[in-house]
Every structure is written in C-alpha cells, then in structure tokens.
Amino acid sequence: MKKNLLDRFTKYISYATTSDENSETYPSTEGQLVFGDFLVEELKKLGLQEVEKDQYGYVTATLPANCEDKQPVIGFISHFDTAPDMPGIAAPRIIENYDGGDIMLDAESNTALTLTDFPELSDYKGQTLLTTDGKTLLGADDKAGIAEIVCAMEYLLKHPEIKHGKIRVGFTPDEEIGKGVLFFNVEKFGCDFAYTMDGGAIGELEYENFNAASACINIQGRNIHPGYAKGKMVNSQLIAMEFNALLPEFERPQNTQDYEGFYLLIHMEGTVENSQLRYIIRDHDRQKFEEKKQLIQQIVDFLNIKYPGRVSCEIKDQYYNMREMVEPVFFVVERAEKAMRDAGIEPKVQPIRGGTDGANLSFKGLPCPNIFAGGHNFHGKYEYVPLESMEKAVEVIVNICKER
C-alpha cells in the first residue's frame, strides 16, 4: 500500500494544477483539465464504472455495490488544484526512517523544517516523510486526498470479500480559490452523504468550518507634484494604512486559534493616486461573522467622513459553517469516528480553521464532513506529509465503506 500511495502521489504532483483567482474561465487553469483527463483514464483502468469528466472539469466515478442489503450511497471527494500562494513541485523529497531531527529543505536559502518551529515533527520519527524542495509547495493539499481515495477504491476492487454499498468518488477543481463546487451537480452525484479527504494531521475529523467572506477596499487619492502638494495631495496609500490600523490587531490569524475568527490582509497594492486592499474575513459564529463584515463597512463610512467619497468596498460571502447542515444527520460523523477507531486512530474532532468543498456541498444538500489527508503546513514551502498517515487514511475510507 505504501508503495502504491507513493507512486500515485508522486505522479499526481508532477501535474501543474495551480488555480488562478484572476482567471475568468472554469476551471481557472488549463492544467487542471489535463490532470482531470489523466484521472479519468486511471479510474477506467482500475475498473470503476460511470467514469466521466463533465464540462466544468469535475471527475466522477462509481464503485458498484457488492452486497444485497440496502446500504447508503457514500461519496468521497478531493480537489485537484493547488494553492496559488506558491508554485507546485515536480517531485517530493523522500525521507525514509525519519530520525526525528531538523530537516534541511534548501541549503542555499537556509530553509529548514525545524523542531523549534514545527514540534509535531517529532510525532513522525521512524516514518517516511514527503517534503518540498524548500522552494515550492508540495501539493498534499489535496493530491494526498486523491491518492488515498483512488488507492482505497483499488483495494476494495481487489478484495471483493469486503462487502459495501454503492460508492461514488468526485474530484473537483478550483477549491483553493473558493469555487470548488460552484457547478457541482449534487443530484447527479447521487449520494446520501459524503466525506472530503482534505484535512490535516492524522486523526482530524471536522464538521465545523469558518463562515467566510472577502472584502476588497478601493481608495482614490489625488496625486499632485510634491513640490506643490500642500493642501492638495491626498495619498491613497496613507489612507490604506489608516484603514488597516483601525482593524483590531488581536483579530489577525497569528493571534487567534480554535473558534476565534480573524481578518487577514491577503493583498495590497498602491500609488499616491490609487490603492487597493484585499481581505478575507473568517468566523465560526455566524453573528460574529456578520459583525466583522459590519466593522469593515463602518471603517469605510468613517474614512469617507474624513476623506469624502474616497473609499469604497465590496464584500462577498464565500461559504458558511457546515455545522448547521451536518448536526441533523450526525450519524455521518459517528460513522467516521468508528472507522477511525477501527483503524487504531483516536479521532480529533475539531473545527476547521478554513473551509473545504464540503461546506458548500453541505448547503447544497449533501452532508459532507472532512477527514484528514495527513498533510501539514499547507500552501507553502514547509508543507510535508507522512506516508504512514496517508496509509491510515486509506484504511479509514475502506472502513467507512464497509457494509453495516
């Protein structure tokens, strides 16, 4: 199983599938369609049925039931795009029998995975770690999830003595830019419930996520030759700095944890004449989420009193906390908990400090908790995944599928 996982994962991350939030196409990049075509052929070769890629790039397939008793139709979903924060990697570094110490990723830039910064590394002593080269991200988010699902389906095909109902798998584009299931046809997917394999460390099980919104702040300045600017110049960059300073410092990601929400400045650009700030807004509590959006608007209104008509904003909701959709069918969480315990894993039920396709799918009528894929430090050059965690994820998938 480990070799199978390693071979698949290494092949998957060799495909460039970075999504692009500035693109006007869907999927946002051509590379995702290319990888989707590869997945279609691979799933057909495995022997799955109803394999297809639709006009939006969604890849779906079916493992037919092999038992007579009526069982629920269960889905497993992962996304194949990687985050636009950094380019992806062509091949991982493979560290076998990890010695438990610091790992130098790139000596030239002195980029290292250190126990000081990442103490959880010590949990994986003796295991096989897949890391970046110190210059790219790895792509375990979420090609580890895809490899796990495909390997689990292959295992079930090779072991018909394991009885199960109908299983559906789905692989989606553009999750990293918040559009992963924008056109996903839940009715055609035809599942009673599903799971995204898109979580972090081994044991993670999540059915709560942030409510999420984006905010774009545009500031119009007035550029005048600095030698003649007295009483005339309005520097949009200084207004932008003032805007950011009015947001609470203790509600930034680096100062929050657990259920605490935040504002994150993700992009800024500007000149004296024009500036733009882009934020993401996050909170698990719907009321606090709404209050955060209101504060953004209140700051805009305040600055427009001070600098009449110079500040505008556009706030867009992205997704909501799936908890309200999952709690009424909580048995889907309990099924995953049992599957983990049967694999010798103690579930770590916790809120997602982020979002997954499962959030929007849950609001589309498909309850969809999130299960660990095994990776750490997503979206950057410190990303890594223990191969043994991926192996356990496969076992959890198989356990979920088993007839009950």
Q: What is the mean pLDDT of the chain?
A: 96
* Catalytic site includes residue 81: yes
pLDDT in tens, 276-287: 999 999 999 999
Give the count of beta carbons closer than 10 Å to the beta carbon of residue 254.
8
- Cα separation, 171 vs 192, in Å, equals 17
Task: Establish whether domains 2-209+321-401 and 211-319 are of one fold.
Answer: no
d(CA 278, CA 121): 33
Residue among 141, 148, 154, 175 flagged as catalytic: 175
Residue 357 token pair: 């396709």
> What pLDDT digit, counting tens, does each position of 21-59 carry?
899 999 999 999 999 999 999 999 999 999 999 999 999
Measured between alpha carbons, how far is 320 from 355 in angstroms, rounded to an integer?
Answer: 9
Number of residues in the chain: 404
pLDDT (0 to 100) of residue 141 = 94
Residue 268 has pLDDT above 90, yes or no: yes
Q: Over pLDDT 90: what percentage of the chain? A: 92
- pLDDT by residue (tens digit) across 366-386? 999 999 999 999 999 999 999
Residue 178 scores a pLDDT above 90: no
Q: What is the pLDDT of residue 283?
A: 96
| Domain 211-319 listed as CATH 3.40.50.410 | no
Residue 350 has pLDDT above 80, yes or no: yes
Average pLDDT over residues 288-296: 98
For the segment 52-75, what is each residue's pLDDT rounded down to a tens digit?
A: 999 999 999 999 999 988 999 999
pLDDT at 253 over 80: yes
192-214 tens-digit pLDDT? 999 999 999 999 999 999 999 99
CATH superfamily of 2-209+321-401: Zn peptidases (3.40.630.10)
8 Å CB contact between 289 and 261: yes
Q: Where are the domains of the chain?
A: 2-209+321-401, 211-319
Q: What is the pLDDT of residues 330-343, one digit of tens each?
A: 999 999 999 999 99
323 within 8 A of 352, measured Cβ to Cβ: no
Instruction: Note the pLDDT of residue 185.
Output: 96
State yes or no: pLDDT of 355 exceeds 80: no
Q: Give, in order, the Cα–Cα distances in Å from 8 to each of 143, 161, 216.
A: 9, 25, 39
Q: Give tens-digit pLDDT for 136-160.
A: 999 999 999 999 999 999 999 999 9
Evaluate if residue 90 carries a pLDDT over 80.
no
Beta strand residue intervals within 290-338, DSSP E: 311-319
Enter the DSSP assignment of 167: E
Triad 399, 353, 396: Cα angle to 5°: 5
pTM of the model: 0.87
Residue with tokens 């199978």: 4
Q: Which of these is catalytic: 81, 148, 204, 395?
A: 81
The CA distance from 288 to 178, in Å, is 21
Gap between the Cα atoms of 280 and 364, Å rounded: 23
Is the pLDDT reported for residue 318 higher than 90? no
Determine contact, residues 62/68, Cβ cutoff 8 Å: no
Half-sphere exposure of 303 (CA within 13 A, CB side): 27
The pLDDT score that the predictor gives to residue 209 is: 92
